[in-house]
Amino acid sequence: MSEHPQEHEAWLAEILSGELDPNAPENQRRLDACAVCRAEFESLQGVLGEIERAEPELGSELDRIREEVVGGPTAPWVLEQLNSGGNAGSQRRAPPSGRRAMALAAALTLVIGGWLAWRLREPRPDIPMGREIEIVAPVGEVDAIESFRWRYDRRRGETFEIEVLVDAARVHVERDIVEQHWEPSPETTAKWRGKIQWMLTVRSDRGSIVTRSSLVAVSLSSH
């Protein structure tokens, strides 16, 4: 059995990397003329399509992955492996073969897929105040609350949910908040006596928890 021609693999690598337009008539003719090239191209297109379709649903998780990879200790190695533009001396590396590109894409897909599955199954811990949510008010004076405010910089269509707990018992829930503040009525706060805890939860448009934070306020038992 003859091996796939090396020049085909080099050309296919340029197609897969985006350097050449696969829809150009000349490239379409070459894909039609080589069954191996066509099969490898369609296989990778299918993988990339699945990733693209999954990205809206996993947008927040993918953002976290990008941040952790770029800011993590493995970033130099990852960039070195994925960089096809050459070294500091601007020497261009030879493009990988089509089969090598397919193998790399498949391995990367498996690794990211497994990592995402593990992260999505893992119970998400409370995010400390100041990392993603910054509580602006109240500042401990619960009996003087006129509004409850916070800052959340990573918002992409999420909604907010507030739970009020008095002596660890939930007494109020406010859902589907779109602004970054909430004003409880005086009639409502008048009923709260005890150790009050505010739990602020950020939910995605699918209802899953993105992050949460809480603030324990002073006791109202003396009022």
Instruction: Give per-residue pLDDT as tens, 81-115.
Output: 555 444 444 444 444 455 555 555 665 665 566 55
- In terms of domains, do 110 and 18 share one? yes
- In terms of domains, do 104 and 38 share one? yes
- In terms of domains, do 176 and 116 share one? no
Q: Is residue 1 part of a domain?
A: no
What is the token pair recorded at 222?
Answer: 């003396």
Q: Is the pLDDT at 116 greater than 70, yes or no? A: no
Can you give the pLDDT at residue 223?
38
How many domains would you assign to the chain? 2
Can you give the pLDDT at residue 91?
44
Can you give the pLDDT at residue 77?
53
Can you give the pLDDT at residue 130?
39
Share of the chain above pLDDT 90, in %: 0
**CA distances (Å), origin 166, targets 78, 134, 218:** 48, 22, 11
- In terms of domains, do 97 and 61 share one? yes
- In terms of domains, do 108 and 50 share one? yes
Can you give the pLDDT at residue 183?
80
Whole-prediction pTM: 0.38
Are β-strands 209-219 and 133-137 bridged in parallel, bridged antiparallel, or unpaired? Answer: unpaired
Instruction: Give per-residue pLDDT as tens, 128-162.
Output: 333 456 655 444 444 445 567 777 877 777 899 98
Alpha helices in the chain (DSSP H): 6-17, 25-33, 35-54, 59-71, 75-82, 98-121, 186-189
Full residue range of the structural domain in which residue 166 is found? 133-219
Can you give the pLDDT at residue 107?
57
Can you give the pLDDT at residue 50?
66
Q: Is residue 175 part of a domain?
A: yes
Residue appearing with tokens 């500042």: 139
Closest by CA to 191, choosing from 215, 167, 174, 175, is 167
The dihedral over CA atoms of 173, 174, 175, 180, expressed in degrees to the nearest 10, equals -140
Q: Is residue 191 part of a domain?
A: yes
Instruction: Give per-residue pLDDT as tens, 14-58.
Output: 776 677 887 888 888 888 888 777 777 777 776 666 666 665 656
- Neighbouring C-beta atoms of residue 157, cutoff 10 Å: 9
